[in-house]
């Protein structure tokens, strides 16, 4: 009984993680993902998605300063 509850919780967390990673890959703003997941702190969302500071800097640079890549 306890193992089946644990498995269901793991599957639910895995599905949330997969959805959040897909949203991020499709360009959804990290703040929007934070709100969708219900996290109070953006650092929780960052940790949940395994996003590094370097990845965030790269994405920001591409979105903000390299306009050709956005077209």
Q: What is the pLDDT of residues 4-58, one digit of tens each?
A: 665 666 677 778 888 888 888 888 888 899 999 898 988 888 877 776 677 777 7
* Length in residues, the chain: 71
Which residues, 6+ apart, have CB-to-CB distance to 63 below 8 Å?
Answer: 27, 70
Alpha helices in the chain (DSSP H): 2-25, 30-37, 42-48, 53-65
CA 60, 63, 68, 71 torsion: positive or negative?
positive
pLDDT range class, residue 71, cuts 50, 70, 90: very low
CA distance 50 to 30: 12
């Amino acid at each position: 009984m306890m193992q089946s509850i644990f498995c269901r919780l793991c599957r639910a967390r895995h599905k949330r993680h997969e959805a959040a990673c897909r949203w991020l890959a499709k360009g959804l703003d990290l703040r929007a993902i934070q709100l969708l997941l219900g996290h109070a702190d953006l650092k929780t969302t960052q940790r949940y998605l395994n996003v590094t500071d370097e990845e965030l800097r790269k994405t920001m640079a591409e979105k903000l300063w390299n306009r050709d890549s956005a077209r």
